[in-house]
Amino acid sequence: KAGVTQTPRYLIKTRGQQVTLSCSPISGHRSVSWYQQTPGQGLQFLFEYFSETQRNKGNFPGRFSGRQFSNSRSEMNVSTLELGDSALYLCASGSGRQETQYFGPGTRLLVL
């Protein structure tokens, strides 16, 4: 059974640009959650999608958005990038029934 995949793995952008990250969950999983990890703030919840609907959202500005497709793949978008958006972005795949969640390898974003 394939694991959680995230693309791209590394990304360098400049301030003001926008970026789209992708996450493909484990086959059969319908929930995808996104997290931002920075040295200062640790792991913070961004949002969760279940069956194409946003089910929960963290305390991030509106520049951060996401969506989920009918095949459960999810994308997150960050517009008008700021230096502080440099982070490791992780996605988690779950059944949607509060069982074990599995994380992808992450996307490292550097904003210059």
Partner 1 sequence: GIQVEQSPPDLILQEGANSTLRCNFSDSVNNLQWFHQNPWGQLINLFYIPSGTKQNGRLSATTVATERYSLLYISSSQTTDSGVYFCAVQTQGGSEKLVFGKGTKLTVNP
Site for partner 1, rule CB under 8 A: 31, 33, 35, 37, 42-43, 45, 48, 50, 55-56, 58, 88, 90, 92, 94, 96, 98-106, 108
CB 17 within 8 A of CB 23: no
Give the nearest distance from C-beta 28 to partner 1 in angstroms: 15
Which CB atom, from 20 or from 37, has the smaller least distance to partner 1? 37
Which CB atom, from 66 or from 106, has the smaller least distance to partner 1? 106
Q: What CA–CA distances, in Å, run from 16 to 7, 8, 23, 76, 82?
A: 21, 19, 23, 16, 7
Which CB atom, from 24 or from 31, has the smaller least distance to partner 1? 31
Give the nearest distance from C-beta 90 to partner 1 in angstroms: 7
